[in-house]
Structure 1
Amino acid sequence: MYTHHYLGKTIQNEIIQLLATKVKQKIVVDLKSAKYYSVILHCTPDISHTEQMTLMVCFVTTTTTEPSENVSAMVTVRQHFLEFIDDTTGGGMTNVRLKNLEDTGIAIADVRGQGYDNGPNMREKNRGVQTRI
């Protein structure tokens, strides 16, 4: 007799992917309501000396509270992971970054800051991601 269960790796991976998609959608909605944002590319080698690149966004949100007579706003700086990037060349990272922003509907024109960490291919004067963007 065969019983169905949700412990198989295929089902677990599918559930994780569905949850990741929902979380990313919520981040994008919040980012779009904030309008302007910064992009952060962080590069760190893993134990096998393979570069691990992450794409993150940083933006500010405000929420207003209305106590009896005063209206105050709570400002929150938010930083969120969006995805891992496989290609660690300056051109490759630029293409992946622009494609990711386009796929999620985030306007590149609303970028107000760029942050790069631990990678000469990101900051390189003539061919790095910073120059290309």
Structure 2
Amino acid sequence: MITTDDTNEMSSHFVQPSIRTWRTATLDFATLYIFINHAFRIKRNWLYQTAILWQYDDVLNFCQDFKNDKSRKIVDIWLLEPLFEGAIRTRRWTTVLEIKKYFEEPGPAIPVYFTDAGEAVGLTDEESQRDMEVIYTRRK
């Protein structure tokens, strides 16, 4: 979860009037965050932004919305993963190379993140070998 308060709100001429912008936000330590660097085409230029997501449906829908839209593109995706080793609590940045949609009855679909560290974040090794729909592949 990302939290802030009204004292951190700021105005910005770079965003639409309906969008609220903050200088500072707090991230819950135990949550996996997905940072999606993306761009929108405005005439002949690209406007780059970064979205921070943490809920499964939001990640799946975000990637699906960009999949076949030539006026928008996903540039990179990173994970900010919580790591707990005994009393030590830290975080790790990893680059996402591919996202697949995993679905098992009766539960909801979940994204599985295949990273540059060679891991499938979100499933066990056995589960990650199943056939899944690819919803994002990193550009080379």
Q: TM-score range by the shorter chain?
A: under 0.3
TM-score, with normalisation over the residues of structure 1?
A: 0.22
Of structures 1 and 2, the one scoring higher in RCO (CA 8 A, sep 6+) is 1
Higher Rg: 1
Pick the structure with more strand per residue.
2
